[in-house]
A and B are shown apart, each in its own frame.
Chain A
Amino acid sequence: MNGLGRLEAAVMDVLWGSPESLRVRDVLERLAPERNLAYTTVMTVLENLHRKGWVVREREGRAYWYEPATTREEAAAQAMRRVLDAMDDPEGALLHFARSASDREAAALRRALDRRRRRR
Protein backbone atom coordinates (compact mmCIF):
# COMPACT_ATOMS: atom_id res chain seq x y z
CA MET A 1 0.00 0.00 0.00
CA ASN A 2 1.95 2.99 -1.16
CA GLY A 3 1.29 6.31 -2.82
CA LEU A 4 -2.46 6.35 -3.46
CA GLY A 5 -2.75 8.40 -6.67
CA ARG A 6 -5.42 10.94 -7.48
CA LEU A 7 -7.58 8.60 -9.56
CA GLU A 8 -7.00 5.70 -7.20
CA ALA A 9 -8.19 7.83 -4.28
CA ALA A 10 -11.31 8.83 -6.24
CA VAL A 11 -12.09 5.18 -7.07
CA MET A 12 -11.58 4.15 -3.42
CA ASP A 13 -13.92 6.98 -2.43
CA VAL A 14 -16.59 5.54 -4.74
CA LEU A 15 -16.11 2.00 -3.36
CA TRP A 16 -16.21 3.19 0.27
CA GLY A 17 -19.35 5.20 -0.50
CA SER A 18 -21.19 2.18 -1.89
CA PRO A 19 -22.95 -0.36 0.37
CA GLU A 20 -22.43 -3.24 -2.09
CA SER A 21 -19.58 -4.39 -4.31
CA LEU A 22 -19.29 -2.76 -7.75
CA ARG A 23 -18.22 -3.67 -11.27
CA VAL A 24 -15.89 -1.54 -13.36
CA ARG A 25 -18.85 0.00 -15.18
CA ASP A 26 -20.61 0.86 -11.87
CA VAL A 27 -17.49 2.65 -10.64
CA LEU A 28 -17.21 4.49 -13.96
CA GLU A 29 -20.83 5.69 -13.65
CA ARG A 30 -20.35 6.90 -10.08
CA LEU A 31 -17.11 8.80 -10.74
CA ALA A 32 -17.67 12.47 -11.48
CA PRO A 33 -18.96 12.61 -15.09
CA GLU A 34 -16.82 15.67 -15.93
CA ARG A 35 -13.74 13.48 -15.61
CA ASN A 36 -14.70 11.81 -18.87
CA LEU A 37 -12.80 8.59 -18.17
CA ALA A 38 -12.48 5.57 -20.40
CA TYR A 39 -13.72 2.17 -19.23
CA THR A 40 -10.25 0.70 -19.64
CA THR A 41 -8.73 3.46 -17.48
CA VAL A 42 -11.00 2.60 -14.56
CA MET A 43 -10.35 -1.10 -15.13
CA THR A 44 -6.59 -0.51 -14.95
CA VAL A 45 -6.96 1.61 -11.80
CA LEU A 46 -9.01 -1.14 -10.13
CA GLU A 47 -6.47 -3.77 -11.15
CA ASN A 48 -3.68 -1.65 -9.66
CA LEU A 49 -5.67 -1.17 -6.46
CA HIS A 50 -6.19 -4.93 -6.30
CA ARG A 51 -2.49 -5.56 -6.80
CA LYS A 52 -1.65 -3.05 -4.05
CA GLY A 53 -4.11 -4.68 -1.67
CA TRP A 54 -6.60 -1.82 -1.40
CA VAL A 55 -9.53 -3.81 -2.88
CA VAL A 56 -10.71 -7.42 -3.02
CA ARG A 57 -12.63 -8.80 -5.97
CA GLU A 58 -14.80 -11.73 -6.86
CA ARG A 59 -15.52 -13.09 -10.28
CA GLU A 60 -19.14 -13.55 -11.22
CA GLY A 61 -19.72 -14.62 -14.80
CA ARG A 62 -17.48 -12.49 -16.99
CA ALA A 63 -17.11 -9.51 -14.66
CA TYR A 64 -15.22 -8.84 -11.44
CA TRP A 65 -17.06 -7.32 -8.49
CA TYR A 66 -14.85 -5.06 -6.41
CA GLU A 67 -15.08 -3.96 -2.79
CA PRO A 68 -12.67 -2.21 -0.41
CA ALA A 69 -10.32 -4.52 1.50
CA THR A 70 -10.88 -2.46 4.66
CA THR A 71 -13.30 0.20 5.85
CA ARG A 72 -12.35 3.82 5.28
CA GLU A 73 -11.74 4.22 9.02
CA GLU A 74 -9.41 1.21 9.13
CA ALA A 75 -7.54 2.45 6.07
CA ALA A 76 -7.17 5.90 7.65
CA ALA A 77 -5.93 4.33 10.89
CA GLN A 78 -3.43 2.17 8.99
CA ALA A 79 -2.16 5.14 6.99
CA MET A 80 -1.87 7.18 10.21
CA ARG A 81 0.01 4.29 11.80
CA ARG A 82 2.47 4.33 8.89
CA VAL A 83 2.88 8.10 9.18
CA LEU A 84 3.68 7.59 12.88
CA ASP A 85 6.12 4.79 11.98
CA ALA A 86 7.87 7.23 9.66
CA MET A 87 8.56 9.61 12.54
CA ASP A 88 12.15 9.91 13.67
CA ASP A 89 11.01 8.87 17.14
CA PRO A 90 7.95 6.61 16.63
CA GLU A 91 7.64 5.75 20.31
CA GLY A 92 7.69 9.39 21.37
CA ALA A 93 5.27 10.30 18.61
CA LEU A 94 2.89 7.50 19.64
CA LEU A 95 2.96 8.57 23.30
CA HIS A 96 2.46 12.14 22.20
CA PHE A 97 -0.57 11.22 20.09
CA ALA A 98 -1.90 9.06 22.94
CA ARG A 99 -1.61 12.02 25.33
CA SER A 100 -3.43 14.25 22.88
CA ALA A 101 -6.28 11.73 22.39
CA SER A 102 -9.80 12.73 23.37
CA ASP A 103 -11.54 10.93 26.26
CA ARG A 104 -13.48 8.75 23.82
CA GLU A 105 -10.32 7.85 21.87
CA ALA A 106 -8.49 7.15 25.11
CA ALA A 107 -11.27 4.82 26.27
CA ALA A 108 -11.15 2.95 22.93
CA LEU A 109 -7.37 2.67 23.26
CA ARG A 110 -7.70 1.29 26.80
CA ARG A 111 -10.26 -1.31 25.66
CA ALA A 112 -7.99 -2.42 22.82
CA LEU A 113 -5.01 -2.76 25.15
CA ASP A 114 -7.13 -4.76 27.64
CA ARG A 115 -8.20 -7.16 24.90
CA ARG A 116 -4.58 -7.55 23.87
CA ARG A 117 -3.51 -8.32 27.42
CA ARG A 118 -6.22 -10.96 27.87
CA ARG A 119 -5.18 -12.66 24.65
CA ARG A 120 -1.65 -13.21 25.93
Chain B
Amino acid sequence: MSFAGALLLGALLVAWAAPLALNRVAAGRHDPLAGVIGWIVTIVGVVSTFAVGSVLLLLPGHRHEGALGDLGHDCWDLFGHHVSHRLQVLMGAAGVAAVVISLIRFARASSTSLRSRRRDHGAHVDLIGVITPSDAGQPGVLWLDDPAPFAYSLRGRPPLVVASTGLRAMPVAQQDAVMCHEVAHLRGRHHLLVALTQDLSEALPIVPLFRHAPVAMRQLVELAADAAAASAFGRPAVRAALLAVDSGHHPRQALAVASRDVPLRLRRLAQSERPDGWLRRAGARAAAVVTSAVTPPVVGLGTFVVAIAVACPAA
Protein backbone atom coordinates (compact mmCIF):
# COMPACT_ATOMS: atom_id res chain seq x y z
CA MET B 1 0.00 0.00 0.00
CA SER B 2 1.31 3.39 -0.88
CA PHE B 3 0.21 6.95 -1.53
CA ALA B 4 -0.57 5.99 -5.16
CA GLY B 5 -2.58 2.98 -4.00
CA ALA B 6 -4.51 5.26 -1.63
CA LEU B 7 -5.45 7.50 -4.57
CA LEU B 8 -6.78 4.52 -6.54
CA LEU B 9 -8.74 3.35 -3.51
CA GLY B 10 -10.17 6.84 -2.93
CA ALA B 11 -11.26 7.17 -6.58
CA LEU B 12 -13.00 3.78 -6.49
CA LEU B 13 -14.71 4.42 -3.15
CA VAL B 14 -16.04 7.79 -4.31
CA ALA B 15 -17.09 6.39 -7.70
CA TRP B 16 -19.25 3.86 -5.87
CA ALA B 17 -20.51 5.98 -2.97
CA ALA B 18 -20.85 9.50 -4.42
CA PRO B 19 -24.18 9.09 -6.28
CA LEU B 20 -25.96 8.58 -2.93
CA ALA B 21 -24.50 11.76 -1.47
CA LEU B 22 -24.97 13.80 -4.65
CA ASN B 23 -28.59 12.68 -5.07
CA ARG B 24 -29.31 13.56 -1.47
CA VAL B 25 -27.96 17.06 -2.09
CA ALA B 26 -30.10 17.36 -5.25
CA ALA B 27 -33.21 16.17 -3.41
CA GLY B 28 -32.87 19.00 -0.91
CA ARG B 29 -33.84 22.54 -1.72
CA HIS B 30 -30.44 23.47 -3.04
CA ASP B 31 -29.35 25.60 -5.94
CA PRO B 32 -29.52 23.23 -8.96
CA LEU B 33 -26.36 24.72 -10.44
CA ALA B 34 -24.44 23.74 -7.29
CA GLY B 35 -25.69 20.20 -7.93
CA VAL B 36 -24.53 20.30 -11.56
CA ILE B 37 -21.11 21.53 -10.41
CA GLY B 38 -20.99 18.81 -7.75
CA TRP B 39 -21.57 16.04 -10.30
CA ILE B 40 -19.17 17.39 -12.92
CA VAL B 41 -16.31 18.12 -10.51
CA THR B 42 -16.77 14.75 -8.78
CA ILE B 43 -16.58 12.97 -12.15
CA VAL B 44 -13.46 14.91 -13.17
CA GLY B 45 -11.98 14.39 -9.69
CA VAL B 46 -12.55 10.63 -9.71
CA VAL B 47 -11.16 10.18 -13.22
CA SER B 48 -8.07 12.31 -12.58
CA THR B 49 -7.40 10.84 -9.11
CA PHE B 50 -7.63 7.34 -10.59
CA ALA B 51 -5.38 8.27 -13.53
CA VAL B 52 -2.77 9.99 -11.31
CA GLY B 53 -2.77 7.03 -8.89
CA SER B 54 -2.25 4.55 -11.74
CA VAL B 55 0.57 6.56 -13.31
CA LEU B 56 2.30 7.02 -9.91
CA LEU B 57 2.25 3.26 -9.39
CA LEU B 58 4.05 2.84 -12.69
CA LEU B 59 6.77 5.42 -11.95
CA PRO B 60 10.07 3.74 -10.92
CA GLY B 61 10.74 5.78 -7.76
CA HIS B 62 7.19 6.05 -6.52
CA ARG B 63 7.78 4.16 -3.27
CA HIS B 64 9.73 7.05 -1.78
CA GLU B 65 6.83 9.30 -1.04
CA GLY B 66 7.83 10.77 2.28
CA ALA B 67 6.76 10.01 5.79
CA LEU B 68 3.24 8.78 5.10
CA GLY B 69 4.32 6.33 2.42
CA ASP B 70 7.22 5.05 4.53
CA LEU B 71 4.94 4.59 7.52
CA GLY B 72 2.58 2.55 5.37
CA HIS B 73 5.33 0.39 3.98
CA ASP B 74 6.92 -0.17 7.38
CA CYS B 75 3.57 -1.15 8.77
CA TRP B 76 2.62 -3.54 6.00
CA ASP B 77 6.14 -4.99 5.93
CA LEU B 78 5.97 -5.53 9.71
CA PHE B 79 2.87 -7.66 9.23
CA GLY B 80 4.38 -9.59 6.36
CA HIS B 81 2.12 -7.85 3.85
CA HIS B 82 4.96 -6.59 1.76
CA VAL B 83 3.43 -5.58 -1.53
CA SER B 84 5.99 -6.44 -4.15
CA HIS B 85 7.12 -3.79 -6.56
CA ARG B 86 6.04 -6.00 -9.42
CA LEU B 87 2.46 -6.23 -8.12
CA GLN B 88 2.26 -2.45 -7.79
CA VAL B 89 3.49 -1.98 -11.35
CA LEU B 90 0.86 -4.50 -12.45
CA MET B 91 -1.86 -2.54 -10.63
CA GLY B 92 -0.64 0.68 -12.21
CA ALA B 93 -0.63 -0.86 -15.68
CA ALA B 94 -4.15 -2.20 -15.15
CA GLY B 95 -5.26 1.26 -13.99
CA VAL B 96 -3.75 3.04 -16.98
CA ALA B 97 -5.26 0.42 -19.33
CA ALA B 98 -8.67 0.97 -17.71
CA VAL B 99 -8.37 4.73 -18.23
CA VAL B 100 -7.33 4.33 -21.88
CA ILE B 101 -10.09 1.80 -22.65
CA SER B 102 -12.65 4.05 -20.95
CA LEU B 103 -11.52 7.04 -22.99
CA ILE B 104 -11.86 5.05 -26.21
CA ARG B 105 -15.34 3.84 -25.25
CA PHE B 106 -16.31 7.41 -24.28
CA ALA B 107 -15.05 8.76 -27.62
CA ARG B 108 -17.07 6.11 -29.45
CA ALA B 109 -20.26 6.86 -27.52
CA SER B 110 -19.74 10.60 -28.09
CA SER B 111 -19.30 10.24 -31.83
CA THR B 112 -22.48 8.13 -32.10
CA SER B 113 -24.54 10.64 -30.12
CA LEU B 114 -22.97 13.54 -32.03
CA ARG B 115 -24.01 11.96 -35.33
CA SER B 116 -27.57 11.46 -34.17
CA ARG B 117 -27.70 15.02 -32.78
CA ARG B 118 -26.47 16.43 -36.10
CA ARG B 119 -29.03 14.39 -38.01
CA ASP B 120 -31.92 15.57 -35.81
CA HIS B 121 -30.75 19.17 -35.79
CA GLY B 122 -30.23 19.07 -39.58
CA ALA B 123 -33.80 17.84 -40.14
CA HIS B 124 -35.17 20.83 -38.22
CA VAL B 125 -32.83 23.28 -39.98
CA ASP B 126 -33.92 21.90 -43.36
CA LEU B 127 -37.56 22.30 -42.45
CA ILE B 128 -36.97 25.95 -41.53
CA GLY B 129 -34.98 26.51 -44.73
CA VAL B 130 -37.79 25.08 -46.88
CA ILE B 131 -40.79 26.74 -45.25
CA THR B 132 -39.26 30.08 -44.16
CA PRO B 133 -36.02 30.62 -46.12
CA SER B 134 -35.46 34.06 -44.57
CA ASP B 135 -35.12 32.44 -41.12
CA ALA B 136 -32.62 29.79 -42.25
CA GLY B 137 -29.34 29.64 -40.35
CA GLN B 138 -30.63 31.98 -37.63
CA PRO B 139 -31.22 31.04 -34.02
CA GLY B 140 -34.96 31.15 -33.52
CA VAL B 141 -38.21 29.32 -33.00
CA LEU B 142 -39.51 26.65 -35.38
CA TRP B 143 -43.28 26.48 -35.08
CA LEU B 144 -44.75 23.04 -35.81
CA ASP B 145 -48.41 22.96 -36.75
CA ASP B 146 -49.95 20.84 -34.01
CA PRO B 147 -52.86 21.45 -31.62
CA ALA B 148 -51.09 19.71 -28.71
CA PRO B 149 -48.94 22.22 -26.80
CA PHE B 150 -45.30 21.14 -26.60
CA ALA B 151 -41.83 22.67 -26.83
CA TYR B 152 -38.25 21.49 -26.93
CA SER B 153 -34.83 22.88 -27.70
CA LEU B 154 -31.94 21.57 -29.77
CA ARG B 155 -28.27 22.31 -29.40
CA GLY B 156 -26.33 23.05 -32.57
CA ARG B 157 -25.55 25.83 -34.98
CA PRO B 158 -27.91 27.64 -34.92
CA PRO B 159 -29.47 26.72 -31.55
CA LEU B 160 -33.20 26.09 -31.98
CA VAL B 161 -36.35 26.18 -29.93
CA VAL B 162 -39.14 24.09 -31.44
CA ALA B 163 -42.70 24.85 -30.37
CA SER B 164 -46.13 23.68 -31.47
CA THR B 165 -48.81 26.12 -32.56
CA GLY B 166 -50.95 24.55 -29.80
CA LEU B 167 -48.79 26.45 -27.33
CA ARG B 168 -50.33 29.70 -28.55
CA ALA B 169 -53.68 28.73 -27.00
CA MET B 170 -52.08 28.96 -23.55
CA PRO B 171 -52.07 32.23 -21.54
CA VAL B 172 -49.23 34.54 -22.60
CA ALA B 173 -47.39 34.31 -19.26
CA GLN B 174 -47.24 30.51 -19.60
CA GLN B 175 -46.04 30.71 -23.21
CA ASP B 176 -43.32 33.11 -22.10
CA ALA B 177 -42.39 30.80 -19.23
CA VAL B 178 -42.05 27.84 -21.62
CA MET B 179 -39.88 29.84 -24.03
CA CYS B 180 -37.77 31.19 -21.17
CA HIS B 181 -37.31 27.62 -19.89
CA GLU B 182 -36.04 26.43 -23.28
CA VAL B 183 -33.77 29.46 -23.77
CA ALA B 184 -32.32 28.80 -20.29
CA HIS B 185 -31.45 25.27 -21.46
CA LEU B 186 -29.63 26.67 -24.49
CA ARG B 187 -27.89 29.48 -22.58
CA GLY B 188 -26.77 27.15 -19.79
CA ARG B 189 -25.40 24.58 -22.27
CA HIS B 190 -27.66 22.04 -20.60
CA HIS B 191 -27.78 19.83 -23.71
CA LEU B 192 -24.00 19.49 -23.61
CA LEU B 193 -24.01 18.56 -19.90
CA VAL B 194 -26.69 15.93 -20.44
CA ALA B 195 -24.97 14.57 -23.58
CA LEU B 196 -21.57 14.29 -21.87
CA THR B 197 -22.96 12.41 -18.86
CA GLN B 198 -25.08 10.23 -21.16
CA ASP B 199 -22.01 9.30 -23.24
CA LEU B 200 -20.04 8.61 -20.06
CA SER B 201 -22.74 6.30 -18.72
CA GLU B 202 -22.81 4.43 -22.02
CA ALA B 203 -19.02 4.10 -21.98
CA LEU B 204 -18.79 2.85 -18.37
CA PRO B 205 -22.19 1.75 -17.04
CA ILE B 206 -20.51 -0.47 -14.45
CA VAL B 207 -19.38 2.56 -12.41
CA PRO B 208 -22.33 3.86 -10.35
CA LEU B 209 -21.10 7.47 -10.48
CA PHE B 210 -21.26 7.40 -14.28
CA ARG B 211 -24.40 5.24 -14.47
CA HIS B 212 -26.46 7.62 -12.32
CA ALA B 213 -25.06 10.86 -13.74
CA PRO B 214 -27.34 11.36 -16.81
CA VAL B 215 -30.59 10.91 -14.86
CA ALA B 216 -29.39 13.28 -12.15
CA MET B 217 -28.12 15.78 -14.72
CA ARG B 218 -31.43 15.83 -16.61
CA GLN B 219 -33.24 16.48 -13.36
CA LEU B 220 -30.86 19.26 -12.30
CA VAL B 221 -30.96 21.10 -15.64
CA GLU B 222 -34.77 20.96 -15.65
CA LEU B 223 -34.78 22.45 -12.15
CA ALA B 224 -32.30 25.13 -13.26
CA ALA B 225 -34.39 26.04 -16.32
CA ASP B 226 -37.57 26.10 -14.18
CA ALA B 227 -35.84 28.44 -11.74
CA ALA B 228 -34.81 30.76 -14.60
CA ALA B 229 -38.36 30.82 -15.98
CA ALA B 230 -39.84 31.30 -12.48
CA SER B 231 -37.60 34.24 -11.69
CA ALA B 232 -38.69 35.95 -14.93
CA PHE B 233 -42.40 35.02 -15.13
CA GLY B 234 -43.30 33.77 -11.67
CA ARG B 235 -43.70 30.31 -10.16
CA PRO B 236 -47.46 30.06 -10.85
CA ALA B 237 -46.91 30.56 -14.61
CA VAL B 238 -44.21 27.84 -14.74
CA ARG B 239 -46.34 25.45 -12.68
CA ALA B 240 -49.38 25.99 -14.89
CA ALA B 241 -47.25 25.61 -18.04
CA LEU B 242 -45.73 22.35 -16.75
CA LEU B 243 -49.21 20.95 -16.18
CA ALA B 244 -50.55 22.17 -19.52
CA VAL B 245 -47.86 21.11 -21.99
CA ASP B 246 -47.75 17.72 -23.63
CA SER B 247 -44.83 15.57 -22.55
CA GLY B 248 -44.91 13.38 -25.64
CA HIS B 249 -42.98 14.48 -28.65
CA HIS B 250 -39.36 15.47 -28.82
CA PRO B 251 -36.15 14.05 -30.26
CA ARG B 252 -33.92 11.97 -28.00
CA GLN B 253 -31.21 14.64 -27.89
CA ALA B 254 -33.64 17.49 -27.19
CA LEU B 255 -34.61 18.93 -23.84
CA ALA B 256 -38.39 19.12 -23.71
CA VAL B 257 -40.20 21.34 -21.27
CA ALA B 258 -42.33 18.71 -19.52
CA SER B 259 -40.64 15.43 -20.31
CA ARG B 260 -39.01 14.72 -16.97
CA ASP B 261 -39.45 14.80 -13.23
CA VAL B 262 -42.65 16.83 -13.42
CA PRO B 263 -43.94 15.91 -9.91
CA LEU B 264 -40.61 16.87 -8.28
CA ARG B 265 -40.47 20.12 -10.23
CA LEU B 266 -44.06 21.01 -9.34
CA ARG B 267 -43.26 20.41 -5.67
CA ARG B 268 -40.17 22.57 -5.94
CA LEU B 269 -42.15 25.36 -7.61
CA ALA B 270 -44.86 25.13 -4.94
CA GLN B 271 -42.37 25.89 -2.17
CA SER B 272 -42.78 29.60 -1.83
CA GLU B 273 -39.49 30.34 -0.13
CA ARG B 274 -37.53 33.30 -1.33
CA PRO B 275 -34.77 32.41 -3.75
CA ASP B 276 -31.25 32.45 -2.30
CA GLY B 277 -29.29 35.67 -2.66
CA TRP B 278 -26.29 35.74 -4.98
CA LEU B 279 -23.85 35.46 -2.08
CA ARG B 280 -25.48 32.27 -0.81
CA ARG B 281 -25.63 30.81 -4.28
CA ALA B 282 -21.98 31.70 -4.97
CA GLY B 283 -21.04 30.16 -1.61
CA ALA B 284 -22.94 26.94 -2.38
CA ARG B 285 -21.28 26.68 -5.79
CA ALA B 286 -17.80 27.33 -4.42
CA ALA B 287 -18.42 24.75 -1.71
CA ALA B 288 -19.55 22.26 -4.37
CA VAL B 289 -16.34 22.80 -6.35
CA VAL B 290 -14.03 22.42 -3.35
CA THR B 291 -15.83 19.48 -1.72
CA SER B 292 -16.17 17.51 -4.95
CA ALA B 293 -12.58 18.14 -6.01
CA VAL B 294 -10.88 17.14 -2.76
CA THR B 295 -13.15 14.23 -1.81
CA PRO B 296 -11.52 11.43 -3.90
CA PRO B 297 -7.91 11.99 -2.69
CA VAL B 298 -8.99 12.79 0.88
CA VAL B 299 -11.16 9.67 1.10
CA GLY B 300 -8.29 7.59 -0.25
CA LEU B 301 -5.71 9.00 2.15
CA GLY B 302 -8.15 8.84 5.05
CA THR B 303 -8.87 5.17 4.40
CA PHE B 304 -5.13 4.55 4.12
CA VAL B 305 -4.36 6.26 7.45
CA VAL B 306 -7.24 4.52 9.24
CA ALA B 307 -6.12 1.16 7.84
CA ILE B 308 -2.59 1.76 9.20
CA ALA B 309 -3.90 2.94 12.57
CA VAL B 310 -6.11 -0.13 12.93
CA ALA B 311 -3.67 -2.66 11.54
CA CYS B 312 -0.52 -1.53 13.30
CA PRO B 313 -0.95 0.91 16.16
CA ALA B 314 2.70 0.40 17.06
CA ALA B 315 4.09 1.90 13.86
Contact = CB atoms under 8 A, between A and B. Distances in A.
B118 A83 contact: no
B interface, over-half SS = helix
Contacts of B133: 9-10, 12-13
Contacts of B130: 4, 9, 12, 72, 75-76, 79
19 contacts: A1-B122, A2-B123, A2-B126, A3-B125, A4-B129, A5-B136, A6-B137, A9-B137, A10-B134, A12-B129, A75-B126, A75-B130, A76-B131, A79-B126, A82-B119, A83-B124, A88-B249, A92-B248, A100-B146
A96 interface: yes
Contacts of B121: 3
A79 B119 contact: no
B147 interface: yes
A8 interface: yes
B144 A83 contact: yes
A48 B249 CA distance: 32
B305 interface: no
Given A80-B127, A88-B252, A96-B148, A2 B136 contact: no
Contact of A93 (B120, B122, B126, B248): B248
Nearest to B154: A86
A86 B120 contact: yes
* Size bracket of the A interface: 20 to 34
A3 B131 CA distance: 14
Interface residues of B, number: 28
A108 interface: no
Contacts of A83: 123-124, 127, 144
Given A2-B118, A4-B126, A82-B123, 11 more contacts: A2-B122, A4-B130, A9-B136, A10-B136, A75-B130, A85-B123, A86-B252, A89-B249, A92-B249, A96-B146, A100-B148
B238 to A, nearest CB: 23
Nearest to A80: B127
B3 to A, nearest CB: 47
Interface of B: 118-131, 133-134, 136-138, 144, 146-148, 248-252
Contact of B251 (A5, A6, A10, A86): A86
Contacts of B123: 2, 79, 82-83, 85-86
Nearest to B136: A9
A88 B251 contact: yes
Contacts of B118: 2-3
B248 A6 contact: no
A4 B136 contact: yes
B120 A76 contact: no
Given A86-B251, A88-B252, A100-B146, A6 B138 contact: yes
B205 to A, nearest CB: 20
Nearest to B137: A6
Nearest to A3: B122
A113 to B, nearest CB: 21
Interface string A9-35: 110110000000000000000000000
